Amino acid sequence: MICAIRLWNMDTAELKASNGLNDDILSMLEEKLSLDIRLSEALQQKNNIKLRDRVYINMAEKFEWPELDRDIIDENIFCYALRDQLGILVDGTVVPCCLDSEGKIPLGNIFETSLEDILNGERAKNMYDGFSRRCAVEELCKRCGYAKRHKK
Ligand code: SF4
């Protein structure tokens, strides 16, 4: 298990991010973890830094959170969901990623079905195969700004 502190709030060409608290957060981490580096300077050199055993900080650009009620962003995308990542909500619902915090893409329930069977289910397989073709099958994925990062 690891802990990744993610400050994904840098400006992009399209999105202005709000990051006025970053300096306070970084100073607090330096103090509480007794770090002998200046994080604000170190993060200029690389965007992922190990702070402690299994504790990391990561900087990245802001992205449009997936929402079903917005216009389609892009349908021709790739995402690592169901390859490198999935999420399990507190009620046991398995979802393809941590961005689907409301369970808009329920793939099955871990209390009722094995993870292997869930990943081999029709909906999960369709998603996986779709991303293999660089195609978003799910409506939520078509409206996800995070996946666009992989196109850069
Ligand atoms: S495209 Fe976005 S919403 Fe869809 S699985 Fe990937 S990260 Fe989640």
Residue from 99, 102, 119, 149 whose mutation best tests the ligand 1 pocket (most atoms within 8 A of CB)? 99
145 pocket-lining for ligand 1 (C-beta < 6 Å): no
> DSSP secondary-structure letter at 49?
E
Nearest CA among 102, 110, 2 for reference residue 54: 2
Q: Write the pLDDT tens digit of every residue in 94-146.
A: 999 999 999 999 999 999 999 999 999 999 999 999 999 999 999 999 999 99
Q: Write the pLDDT tens digit of every residue in 24-40.
A: 999 999 999 999 999 99
Give the CA-trace dihedral at 1, 132, 67, 23, to 10 degrees. 50
Report whether 107 contacts 124 (CB < 8 A).
Answer: yes
Gap from CA of 89 to ligand 1 centroid (Å): 15
Residue 59, SS3 per DSSP: strand
Q: How many CA atoms lie within 13 A of 33 on its CB side?
A: 18
Q: How many CA atoms lie within 13 A of 43 on its CB side?
A: 21
Beta 87-88 vs 55-61: how paired, if at all? unpaired
pLDDT at residue 150 in the model: 62
